[in-house]
Structure 1
Amino acid sequence: MRLAVLLTTLILMLPAMARAELTLFPAPGQRQAGVLTIYSSLDQELARPLVLAFQQAHPDIAVRYEDMLTGALHDRIVAETEAGTGTADFAFSSAMDLQVKLANDGYARPVVTPDTADWPDWANWRDTAYALTYEPAVFAYHKPSFRDHPPPATRADLMRWMAEHPDQAQGRIGTYDVSRSGVGYLFLARDQELYPGIWQVVTAMGRAGVQQFPTSGALLERIADGRLALGYNLLGSYAADWARSHPSIGLILPRDFTVVVSRVGLVPAGARAPELGAGFLAMLMSPEGQALLSRTLRLSAVSLEVAGRPSPAGGMEDLAGLRLKPVLVSPGLLAYLDQATRARLLARWNDALAGK
């Protein structure tokens, strides 16, 4: 019976495992005392400074870093925990709803770090799920495509641009595939709550032949080379990173309202080395870790101490004056995961794109 359960679990895990990208960071010290396993939706190149900072303080620890889609991350932790095989020691994901679901369903363990007492209430749910960044959804655009007129700064501007420049817009707008991207689905759910006209925007994008992609990288690659003129609701951290190395990419934080999400970190209940996962979480919550997130990676920090300082790389102070609409870390996020609600939202999305 046990063997049958394990085989079934492994079969169910195969799609998730196929999408994971594994990077190994050997222990930099003379000996290896342990291995920290991280499942994350953060690209490994962006995560590298975080891992190296942890290893600098723990030179005897090797790190096994697996980059995967947010849905696969959730499913793999559940499957491995249920199978009793052990799972990641730390999980870091931009799909806030799925992370809170893991905590709510008992797949995360409470962890108190030296900074827990001072962490904002909105960013901590029962010491099991911590918001660690403060990231806006942006419009990313191909600068040469907007030489003769400014890029859209609001959703109304976006509709106007599609109507007035159909030759430039047709087939050259991109966004997340909300059926495959957890953060893309979360952005859509928040748009629906905050903006009554969102379905007119989606319908117009459908008429313009919008293209959908599961990852930020796939979108930004096409914006950088001009195959896409504009990307709607992209995660700002990735867009900012690409803009640093691709001068053709510009960013707009929507002026009508800007949805803000957080990457949520947790230590799984089934972690093989939970003490290492707790140590990595403590590092990310420390002033040094938050400074690294905010400055090196351009992921705005949650820590008010870090975010309040001037930052050339971009912290929360860069969001001043915008109509920010943050998503709180709370069980309210679970409403986005109700299967009937999800099915209705995806159906409406597909109908709007099809012009129904």
Structure 2
Amino acid sequence: MRSLLRLWRMSLMVLCLIANPAMSQEASQRFIAKDATPSTVLLVRSTTDISIFAPALAAFVAANPSVEIAYEQWGSNALYANSLGACEGTATPADVVISSGVHQMVDLVNRACASAYQSEFTAQLPAARRWRDELWGITREAAVIIYNTDLVSAEDAPRTRFALLDLMRRSSADFMGKIATYDVEASGLGFLFAFMDSQEATTFGGLLEGFARVDAVATCCSAEIIEGVDSGRYKIAYNVLGSYVDTVPHANLGVIYPEDYTLFLSRAFMIPKGAHQGATAGGFLDFLLSPRGRALLSQSTLIHDSNSDETAANESATRYIPIGPTLLVAMDRHRRARFIEKWRDSFGVDAVK
């Protein structure tokens, strides 16, 4: 009965998002060059926080004063539902969709929801960061472990998943309710990271058992998790998007790139089928892939330079999430339902915030 109720709850959430895809648009902002009178409006829907993406957006309109960017920030699940609705003719299409829910973007391309585009910049991308000339990876972001440096000693800070497992086993009382990660049902990014863990790591089953042992908390958003660790509400958080950790100084945060392997994500850029400004969207993609655009994304921490920190010595442990058909496995309805049910059994309803 509990399994049926949870499956019903998950189905109801998806149906609600499809029925009203605008419900999870989180914020919006317009970008116009100084003293410009734009003749073209480029509608960009993205999961990237406005504050992080703003420098690149402002630089693009400054270089293209005839273009105004109407930027909308969405949650990944709602953005997928909205984009699918646009593909099926029940919602207004954007000109650009950018999402950290890469598996969802691959699914949209597979459903013929994207427009093709080619340029010298897209041709330079490695195969793992482009698919069908309809989906392109524009960033390089790590999934990291963070911890509160006042509450967790350097000796206890887990540098591998095995160390995190050991910590949860031997110090479960000290970490009761104090370990956080993404809610895989509410966060498309969280689902993707957890699903890739399940495919990559022999430790995944043990992690779920450990999370259950310490009453770990599953929550929706990077900002909430990062603030929670910094303030001491949580002591450790697992699989946090490292680019967001680096955007604002935090007094009490330690950051670990797991030494057994570190997942790296590349946000996916798509020009939807039916985009009104497809040519301008292609120009925006080229700008982001150009040296100038990549420099701006690096400054905004959206492109992680592996030669700048501890990951340089551990590049062999890097695991890239490929942009391609292998991610369709993560979108299989029955497999997804079983995965989420197993996750919920580990966390329990009360642990989801």
SS at match of 1:144: coil
TM-score normalised according to structure 1 size: 0.87
SS at match of 1:168: coil
Q: Distance in 1 between matches of 2:295 and 2:50?
A: 19
Tell me the alpha carbon deviations over residues 111-133 of structure 1, each in whole angstroms, 9 at most, x when there is no partner. 11231222211111011000112
Aligned length: 334
Q: CA deviation at 1:66?
A: 0.8
Aligned to 1:277: 281
CA RMSD, 1 decimal: 2.3
Aligned to 2:244: 238
Query: Which among 140, 149, 157 is matched to residue 155 of structure 2?
Result: 149
Q: Distance in 1 between matches of 2:70 and 2:152?
A: 42
Aligned to 1:5: none
The amino acid across from 1:218 in the alignment is E
CA gap of 1:26–1:12, structure 2 versus 1, over 3 A, is: same
Q: Distance in 1 between matches of 2:80 and 2:59?
A: 26
SS at match of 2:322: coil
Tell me the alpha carbon deviations over residues 138-173 of structure 1, each in whole angstroms, 9 at most, x when there is no partner. 001111112463411111111222233334311111
CA gap of 1:12–1:102, structure 2 versus 1, over 3 A, is: closer
Question: Is residue 302 of structure 2 the alignment partner of residue 299 of structure 1?
Answer: yes
CA gap of 1:101–1:11, structure 2 versus 1, over 3 A, is: closer
TM-score normalised according to structure 2 size: 0.88
CA gap of 1:118–1:198, structure 2 versus 1, over 3 A, is: same
Q: CA deviation at 1:317?
A: 7.0
The amino acid across from 1:300 in the alignment is I
| Identity value in percent | 29
Q: Distance in 1 between matches of 2:289 and 2:86?
A: 27
SS at match of 1:92: strand
Contact 2:198–2:204 (8 Å) recurs in 1? yes
Q: CA deviation at 1:21?
A: 1.4
Q: Distance in 1 between matches of 2:246 and 2:194?
A: 21
CA gap of 1:340–1:234, structure 2 versus 1, over 3 A, is: same
CA gap of 1:191–1:101, structure 2 versus 1, over 3 A, is: same
CA gap of 1:60–1:17, structure 2 versus 1, over 3 A, is: farther
The amino acid across from 2:239 in the alignment is N
Q: Distance in 1 between matches of 2:108 and 2:252?
A: 39
Aligned to 1:265: 269
Runs of 4+ in 1 over 6 A off after TM superposition: none
Alignment gaps of 5+ in structure 1: 1-8, 302-306
Query: Which among 119, 128, 141 is matched to residue 135 of structure 1?
Result: 141
The amino acid across from 2:87 in the alignment is T
Aligned to 2:208: 202
Q: Distance in 2 between matches of 1:297 and 1:100?
A: 25
Alignment gaps of 5+ in structure 2: 1-14, 349-353
Contact 1:240–1:251 (8 Å) recurs in 2? no
Q: Distance in 1 between matches of 2:58 and 2:234?
A: 35
The amino acid across from 2:254 in the alignment is G
Contact 1:80–1:86 (8 Å) recurs in 2? yes
The amino acid across from 1:298 in the alignment is T
Query: Which among 97, 107, 114 is matched to residue 103 of structure 2?
Result: 97
Aligned to 1:76: 82
Q: CA deviation at 1:261?
A: 1.6
